[in-house]
């Protein structure tokens, strides 16, 4: 495609030379900063009142969410993002020392129409190792503050702590180098 545009615009190879920089990102731009922080985290505390967190999702559930994107995504992009979400789950078992993971889910998350039996069992399977905790807040125990949106807290090796609430990142460094810079949006 770039070659055709290069020829039509008489760009003499300048557009074609940009091909290596045109690779599609695996994650949406608003989520890339969060994914980087997640990879560096030593501890993650995640509260979710709407969706099952990506680290606890099955392929089917992830596909249902990603495929329901507005504007619609092409099939290739959907599959790339589902694969990327599944690859992120390596943090559950592959890191040494293990990452401390704590998930608190509002009961409504588990009662969504997209949650099938496989997805309902997934948090239980993930919580088997001692570095992972999954808790559920029942409907009758939820207070209004618990329904004001999801929140993720990440801590790095340098004791930098980042809070992501409603897509906004806030930072507080405890003796760290400040590598957790605030951004407008995160996933």
| Domain harbouring 157, CATH code | 3.30.870
Q: Dig out the tokens for 43 from the structure.
A: 């501890």
Per-residue pLDDT of 33-68, as tens digits, reads 888 889 999 999 999 999 999 999 999 999 999 999
Residue 109: inside a domain, yes or no?
yes
Q: Dig out the tokens for 19 from the structure.
A: 């091909």
Cα atoms in the 13 Å half-sphere on the side-chain side of 133? 9
What does pTM read for this prediction?
A: 0.76
The label of the residue with tokens 């990327």 reads 84
Name the domain count of the chain: 1
Q: Dig out the tokens for 31 from the structure.
A: 């989520």
| Residue 112 and residue 60 in contact, taking contact as beta carbons nearer than 8 Å | no
Structural domain that includes position 94: 28-173
Helix (H, G, I), strand (E, B) or coil at 106: strand
């Amino acid at each position: 495609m770039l070659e055709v545009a290069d020829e039509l615009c008489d760009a003499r190879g300048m557009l074609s030379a940009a091909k290596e920089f045109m690779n599609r990102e695996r994650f949406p731009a608003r989520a890339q900063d969060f994914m980087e922080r997640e990879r560096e985290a030593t501890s993650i505390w995640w509260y979710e009142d709407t969706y099952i967190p990506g680290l606890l999702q099955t392929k089917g559930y992830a596909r249902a969410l990603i495929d329901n994107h507005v504007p619609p995504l092409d099939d290739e992009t959907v599959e790339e993002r589902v694969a990327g979400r599944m690859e992120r789950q390596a943090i559950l078992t592959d890191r040494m020392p293990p990452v401390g993971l704590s998930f608190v889910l509002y009961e409504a998350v588990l009662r969504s129409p997209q949650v099938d039996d496989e997805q309902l069992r997934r948090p239980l399977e993930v919580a088997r190792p001692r570095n992972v905790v999954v808790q559920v807040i029942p409907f009758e125990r939820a207070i209004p503050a618990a329904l004001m949106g999801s929140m993720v807290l990440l801590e790095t090796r340098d004791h930098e702590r980042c809070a992501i609430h409603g897509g906004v990142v806030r930072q507080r460094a405890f003796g760290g180098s400040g590598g957790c810079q605030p951004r407008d949006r995160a996933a």
